Structure 1
Amino acid sequence: MKNILTLLILSLAWIITPSETKAQKKGDPMLQVPLGFASYTFRNQWKKGVPEALDIIQQMGFTEFEGGAPQGVSVEDFKKMLADRGISLPSTGTGFEQLESDPQAVADRAKALGAKYVMCAWIPHQRGQFSKADADRAIKAFNEGGKVLKDNGIIFKYHVHGYEFQPYGKGTLFDYLVENTDPDYVSLQMDVMWTHFGGGDPAALLKKYGKRWVSLHLKDFRKGAPKDMTGLTGPENDVPLGQGELDFPAILREANKIAIKHMFIEDEGDHELEALPKSIAYLKSLRY
């Protein structure tokens, strides 16, 4: 009898597997995570007053924030301002040199913010000439720093910036970096625009490296604008989501398959308050 019950339980578990319950139906929204934003998006607004900027952010419907306390505001005060507006802070950032030299300080700051993730968005290198030596330095810093962060209950993620797609071996230096970092200590955040800018295919890379990806930065790139491997371009090339070159339906489809939980809009243009409502409306319009 006991064996029969066990078989029944296993059969039911198979019937209601997570993959089955998450199966998408025609008409389901493609945006299936809370609406998040990266702090840099509101760089012009923080200067005019943090509470006022957060009011705008709340009115736009954002409920997740990636960043730290703006200059002149204490961590505790900022956390309260966020909480009062129903905004959580799952992720913050760090500079490469601090991660390399004092990862414990990075962990302590993240814990003070209540962040689960710490991302690093830049590896030092000569502009346009990211090399294997640069990648090797990053691999060491990421593996060692990522271990310290994990020991403190924090997940480290590297934010892809586009210059890593220099050819190397049978792939790119980005492939080399991913293959030589420990997945226990180093996760990935894809900035879809910078990935595209450097010659990568965002949807294909999401599929290739699967669960290594834990979050996205969402932004679009002006159609026909020049691209290179510097990881740098002007604000005029940042356009509202859906108006540029990026294939967001393909990106979101792959992101949902690997259950990415956090997506942050990052607008680097000069007219963010005009562009953001268009980006949000576009994201919400996407359906299976």
Structure 2
Amino acid sequence: MKRRTVIKNTIFGVGGLSLLSSFKAIEEMVHPFGKTNIGVQLFTIPGLVDQDLRGTLKTLNDIGYTEVEFFGPYPFSAEVAIKQWEEMKGMLQLKNNAFYGYTAKETSQLLKEHNLMAPSMHTDIVSLRTNLGPLLEGLAPINPKYVVIPALLDSNERKDAGDYRKLADEFNRFGEQMNKYGMKFVYHNHGYEHATYNGETGLDILLKNTDADYVQFELDIFWMKAAGAEPVQYLKRYPGRFKLLHIKDAAAEFRFSGDGGTPDQWMEGFPKMADPGDGIFDIKKIIAEGSKSGVDHFFLERDLAPNPMETLNNSFKNLNAMF
């Protein structure tokens, strides 16, 4: 029995309700934002999961993480998406796609063995458009609540406000289909959606024209700041719409060289990233606002961390002290 449980049972045994109130007050001081699950987006450590998914999940649990977020492609992704990933996979010196030699059902069992959950999973827009049913069926054994698009690579789909309204309609349709599986569609900001059209950003258009019953958002604080926007302001402006947060810090200020819409611009930012709490961002303030705004899942995501184990341990220590 855990020490905290023993203490609570002892308090109830002696009828010390006033002592229990004191215990709760102390707990609130230690964890001012409530008990929060800290997770890892696996793109932080792609080499580790590629080499040994089971061992990596054990390591995450041993450190204290309680959630993971997978990235695709998956065996049931669209064939074109799998082929497009091959070039990137070679650059990253990865051998496997998710689930790294396991089936979705086997992966679900691995997660249970290591007391981990996967509340969200990243996929691609092509698979949603051309292979939605098989994709959702394939993901179902993992039991995710959110299916996330991390970026829209085709700039022709996001040229103006009208394009963003069309995307919002499409996102609503995705969400309606996902609802049948107990899932919601999620869009993850990547920078380009902060371009302004008649005083309104693309991200604002998406937020205002999607149905919160079907569509939610994942806020990546690094990419938002790289576009010159402020995470705290967005969390305040749209309470209840950002259910997931990607947390990474910056060693120095970074702004996109262009509109933030191409992989080469994102890769320029990778060397400027830092473990949460070790950089220039006020991570604790962003987490506090996120908790107030309705964020349910907080993921470490330092893209392609150069020292994976160091980042995992250091980030958990820093983040755990902030919650």
Structure 1 equivalent of residue 5 of structure 2: none
Q: Secondary structure at the match of 2:51?
A: coil
Structure 2 equivalent of residue 135 of structure 1: 164
Q: What is the Cα-based RMSD across aligned positions, in Å?
A: 2.4
* CA contact 1:41–1:272 (8 Å) conserved in 2: yes
Structure 1 equivalent of residue 307 of structure 2: 271
CA distance in 1, matches of 2:199, 2:104: 46
Residue type at the aligned position of 1:277:
N
Say which is worse superposed, 187-196 or 107-116, in terms of deviation: 107-116
Q: Secondary structure at the match of 2:45?
A: helix
Task: Please show how residues 145-160 of structure 1 align to structure 2 within 5 Å.
Answer: 145-160=174-189
Residue type at the aligned position of 1:284:
N
* CA contact 1:125–1:134 (8 Å) conserved in 2: no
Is 1:230 matched with 2:264? no
Task: Please show how residues 198-237 of structure 1 align to structure 2 within 5 Å.
Answer: 198-228=227-257, 229-230=259-260, 232-234=266-268, 235-237=270-272
Kindly provide the CA deviation profile for residues 27-75 of structure 1, in whole angstroms up to 9, marking residues without a partner as x: 5344731111112122011222222222221222111111164232111
Q: Secondary structure at the match of 2:140?
A: helix
Task: Please show how residues 24-173 of structure 1 align to structure 2 within 5 Å.
Answer: 26-30=29-33, 32-67=35-70, 69-126=98-155, 131-132=160-161, 134-173=163-202
Structure 1: gaps spanning 5 or more residues: 1-20
The normalised TM-score by structure 1 is 0.83
Deviation at 1:122, TM superposition (A): 1.1
The normalised TM-score by structure 2 is 0.75
CA distance in 2, matches of 1:143, 1:216: 21
Residue type at the aligned position of 2:302:
D
- Shift in alpha-carbon separation, 1:32–1:192, aligned structure 2, 3 A: farther
Give the number of equivalent residue pairs. Answer: 265
CA distance in 2, matches of 1:149, 1:80: 23
Structure 2: gaps spanning 5 or more residues: 1-23, 72-97
Q: Secondary structure at the match of 2:111?
A: helix
- Shift in alpha-carbon separation, 1:102–1:88, aligned structure 2, 3 A: same
Say which is worse superposed, 227-236 or 186-195, in terms of deviation: 227-236
- Shift in alpha-carbon separation, 1:27–1:74, aligned structure 2, 3 A: closer
Structure 2 equivalent of residue 253 of structure 1: 288
Structure 2 equivalent of residue 243 of structure 1: 278
Structure 1 equivalent of residue 320 of structure 2: 284
CA distance in 1, matches of 2:255, 2:228: 11
* CA contact 1:99–1:141 (8 Å) conserved in 2: no
CA distance in 2, matches of 1:141, 1:190: 20
CA distance in 2, matches of 1:211, 1:28: 21
